[in-house]
Chains A and B, each alone.
Chain A
Amino acid sequence: MILAQTIVTYIYYIITAIIGITLLKKFFKREKRQGLVYDLVYAYCLVPFILRLLQIK
């Protein structure tokens, strides 16, 4: 059970990484919601994904 739970945890890291990378890509290049305000929104929305990936939080 511990092994299974560890695998689940790592799958969540992979999901977080995929979402984080896509968000980072969208931070630089996106079709909708352009402009400085949304640059800021994308920037702070990226923070929790990066921190979780780095296992800081």
Chain B
Amino acid sequence: MTYTVADVAIIAAAMVIAFVLSSKYLKSTEISMAASGVVGVAFAFAHGWTKEPIRLLVEGLFNNLDLAILFICASFFVNVYSESGALNAITRKLVKRFNSKWVLMTFMGVFMLIPGALTGAGSVSVFVLGALVTAIIRFMGVSDRKTAAFVFVFAILSAAAPPINLWTMLMTAQANMPYVGFELLLLIPILIVGAFTIIYVGWGAKRQSKEEILKVLPEANEKYDGAGGWVRILLPILTLLVLFILALVLPYDLPVLGLPLMFVLSTVVAILCNPGKAGLKDYYGMFEKTMEQVFPLVATVISVGVLQNSMAASGVKGLIGTAFVLLPFVWIYATVLLFAPFAQGSMSYGSAIVIGTPLIFMFNTAGLNTTVVCAALSLMFPIGDCLPPSRIVGRLTIEATGYQGTYTSFLKAVAAPCLLLGLLALIMLIYPNTFAFLA
């Protein structure tokens, strides 16, 4: 089996052309990614690099299947919780309790950080709290565009926040480094960007009066009043949090439940806490609605899996990684803020493996602190969660916040906080030894 860089570059070009043409004529991002993957595998087969093209494609469908199941289970939990009126009740309680716009926004930001920090997935933050945070931030007089920006930025910050940062974990595992000393290195930039985002989003927004907000909000079920009401509201969310924490604290004393099952168990608790009357048929109706709602995302992650497998089989993934890490340091510094997020957009967590780990080895040979380098890179990758082709967290945010504007206008809204996050990470990458005291 022989191949040259030119062969792989031609395949990469063919895949890009297939993606562009499919997007233009079929008007579906999902099928365009799958088509691009099929083209890559077809070329690899034609070159004799694989004898089992169908197997490669089918295995690609399984790459992100667990993620797809997670999205469905998490969305169902949120829909059941929301339909029970709990979200509405908690919004009313929070609006009644706090008067300051800044205090409420800070609370919302901190709440958003928790699910993603515990699970390592920003999408979980959007699923669990996206709707609630959207409702409250809008009542603070913030525009729809900036509300979507708030939810997205805190979702990606939550994914990067310790204790679980999947990019760092993947890079350290591959580079034989201990996953130790990252807390402050990750947390400080996240807090800076979080504070900036709250000011950026809230600046100039005029909070509606408490009475006005309460007039617009639907009346909460009376069973949500008092201490019993708080139990009904908080128990489903607490169940989820407790299951997250137990999985971290007692990993050997519990069966591995997995995030989808944790959401299913919390859904059962949400059903039991629902004060309204709903039967099995109603809940299946809700599930069908959830499937329709979340299908584009499910199709996206499954199609991305095909694309990832195809890129690996055809050598395109390796070409991208090698071409980047062989650049001189100056060029890496100049292009990493484009390269890392776009790699995340196309390869998801694979970006940490393809680009992150070789870069760590490269910086290590130059005598630079690899813990800081690793933290810096893992702050850059999440920015790509709003970039094509996958745009997973970006699309989820649009769904959760109901933002009606164009995707480009959403990207413009998130640009400032993302740029700040990128710049902080870039400074850490350029001067890693200066920040070594935080490790």
Contact = CB atoms under 8 A, between A and B. Distances in A.
Interface string A17-57: 01100110110001111000110111011011101100001
**Size range of the chain B interface in the assembly:** 20 to 34
Contacts of B288: 22, 25-26
B191 to A, nearest CB: 37
Interface of A (DSSP majority class): helix
Contact of B261 (A12, A32, A33, A44): A12
A22 B287 CA distance: 9
Given A11-B261, A12-B258, A12-B260, A26 B292 contact: yes
Given A8-B258, A26-B292, A26-B295, A37 B31 contact: yes
**Size range of the chain A interface in the assembly:** 20 to 34
A34 to B, nearest CB: 12
Contacts of A26: 288, 291-292, 295
Contact of A48 (B61, B287, B291): B61
Contacts of B65: 48-49, 52
Given A45-B299, A57-B59, 13 more contacts: A1-B255, A4-B255, A5-B255, A8-B257, A11-B261, A11-B264, A26-B291, A30-B292, A41-B30, A41-B303, A44-B302, A45-B61, A47-B61
28 contacts: A4-B255, A7-B255, A8-B256, A8-B258, A11-B261, A11-B264, A15-B73, A16-B69, A19-B69, A19-B291, A23-B291, A30-B292, A31-B292, A32-B292, A41-B30, A41-B299, A44-B61, A45-B61, A45-B295, A45-B298, A45-B299, A48-B61, A48-B65, A52-B62, A52-B65, A57-B58, A57-B59, A57-B62
Interface of B: 26-28, 30-31, 34, 58-59, 61-62, 65, 68-69, 72-73, 255-258, 260-261, 264, 287-288, 291-292, 295-296, 298-299, 302-303
